[in-house]
């Protein structure tokens, strides 16, 4: 069936390696919206970090939905209505941030216009053999001002929807089980890239947020196509009527999908949607 909801991960899915929406993909998403389809941008990114993609696709004209923080919050772009919101408990946030002091990672939390870190001059990490300033990358990607806080655990006395930790990929792979051990039964803990390990409220994932948002906007059955490439996309790919793994997706995502398309640099989203909206 022709989808009337298109749910898209951002990095490695909607955008190419230059972090831009490729032209054919943008064109077919605009066409789908004109035919009454709603677009859901579902990402580990924050709401501010999703805004530029929403603007590029004119989601404000078509009641597009932003699902941020790996499912911690969902917002109607046109009205600003919060369709779903599930932050961590304050005590949980403090416990995670206190526990992270034992590890060689960079915790990051956001509030309003600011992203809070221990060290705004944190040394770069190494990704694919190159140095990568992950704190600057995350701040610029979300249009945040950086603010340095020595003790994030003591500071975190407000609703937090996601605690992001960044580190050397080999280090995270060796230590993530210790990092998540105290919280494995009480929080959702996952990799969203080989240099990112994140904590959200229990049961929070992209699929749960999308379901909650769709229940608010419509009582009728909606046909969902979902596209992704990483571990945090599996829930929405399994939930969708048509779950699509990108050609660059990892093996677990491909195993969960109904269909495997081309990579993000080959316009895999367009390659699938042209069958419905060309």
| pLDDT tens-digit series, residues 93-105 | 999 999 999 999 9
**What is d(CA 122, CA 136) in angstroms, rounded to the nearest whole number?**
9
Q: What is the pLDDT of residues 47-68, one digit of tens each?
A: 989 999 999 999 999 999 999 9
Q: What is the pLDDT of residues 262-276, one digit of tens each?
A: 999 999 999 999 999
pLDDT attached to residue 195: 95
The pTM of this model reads: 0.88
Q: Assign domain 5-86+204-277 to a CATH class.
A: alpha beta
161 exposure class (CB count in 10 Å sphere: 0-12, 13-18, 19+): buried
107 in Cβ contact with 118 (< 8 Å): yes
CA angle 19, 258, 73 (to 5 degrees): 50
Question: Quick one: average pLDDT of 145-166?
Answer: 97
70 in Cβ contact with 44 (< 8 Å): yes
Mean pLDDT (the chain) is 95
Please name which of 107, 100, 62, 67 lies closest in space to residue 83, comparing C-alpha atoms: 67
Domain span(s) for CATH 3.40.50.1000 in the chain: 5-86+204-277
Domain span(s) for CATH 3.30.1240.10 in the chain: 90-201
What is the DSSP secondary structure assignment for residue 124, as one 8-state letter? P
Residue 74 has pLDDT above 90, yes or no: yes
Question: Quick one: average pLDDT of 169-186?
Answer: 98
Q: What is the pLDDT of residues 3-51, one digit of tens each?
A: 999 999 999 999 999 999 999 999 999 999 999 999 999 999 999 899 9
Q: What CATH number has the domain spanning 90-201? A: 3.30.1240.10
Residue 218 has pLDDT above 90, yes or no: no
Question: Quick one: average pLDDT of 149-169?
Answer: 97
Q: How are beta strands 196-201 and 187-193 bridged, if at all?
A: antiparallel
What is the DSSP secondary structure assignment for residue 117, as one 8-state letter? E
For residue 65, what are the CA distances in angstroms to 37, 38, 51, 167?
11, 8, 11, 30
SS3 216: helix
Q: What is the pLDDT of residues 126-141, one digit of tens each?
A: 998 999 999 999 999 8
Buried b (16+ CB within 10 A) or exposed e, 39-70: bbbbbbbbbbbbbebbeebbbeebebbbbbbb
**What is d(CA 175, CA 154) in angstroms, rounded to the nearest whole number?**
24
Residue 1 has pLDDT above 90, yes or no: no
pLDDT attached to residue 141: 87
The pair of structure tokens assigned to 140 is 């610029």
What is the DSSP secondary structure assignment for residue 46, as one 8-state letter? -
Give residue 129's region: left, alpha or beta (phi > 0; psi -120 to 50).
left
Give residue 71's region: left, alpha or beta (phi > 0; psi -120 to 50).
left
261 in Cβ contact with 253 (< 8 Å): no
* pLDDT category of residue 149 using cuts at 50, 70 and 90: very high
* pLDDT category of residue 221 using cuts at 50, 70 and 90: confident
Helix (H), strand (E) at residue 56: helix 47-56
* pLDDT category of residue 192 using cuts at 50, 70 and 90: confident
């Amino acid at each position: 069936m022709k989808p009337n909801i298109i749910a898209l991960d951002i990095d490695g899915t909607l955008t190419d390696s230059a972090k831009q929406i490729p032209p054919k993909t943008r064109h077919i998403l605009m066409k789908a919206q004109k035919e009454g389809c709603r677009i859901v941008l579902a990402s580990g990114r924050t709401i501010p970090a999703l805004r530029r993609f929403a603007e590029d696709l004119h989601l404000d004209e078509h009641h597009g939905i932003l699902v941020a923080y790996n499912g911690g919050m969902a917002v109607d772009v046109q009205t600003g209505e919060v369709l779903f919101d599930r932050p961590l408990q304050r005590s949980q946030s403090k416990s995670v941030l206190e526990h992270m002091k034992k590890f060689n990672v960079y915790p990051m939390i956001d509030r309003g216009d600011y992203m809070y870190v221990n060290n705004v001059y944190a040394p770069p990490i190494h990704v694919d053999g190159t140095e990568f300033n992950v704190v600057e990358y995350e701040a610029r990607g979300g249009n945040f001002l950086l603010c340095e806080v020595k003790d994030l655990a003591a500071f975190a006395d407000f609703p937090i929807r996601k605690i992001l930790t960044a580190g050397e990929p080999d280090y995270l792979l060796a230590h993530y089980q210790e990092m998540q051990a105290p919280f494995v039964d009480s929080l959702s803990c996952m990799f969203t890239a080989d240099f990112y390990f994140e904590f959200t409220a229990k049961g929070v994932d992209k699929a749960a947020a999308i379901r909650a948002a769709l229940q608010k906007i419509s009582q009728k059955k909606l046909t969902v196509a979902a596209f992704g490439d990483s571990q945090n996309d599996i829930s929405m790919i399994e939930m969708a009527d048509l779950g699509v793994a990108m050609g660059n997706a990892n093996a677990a995502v491909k195993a969960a999908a109904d269909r495997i398309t081309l990579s993000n640099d080959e316009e895999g989203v367009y390659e699938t949607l042209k069958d419905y909206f060309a």
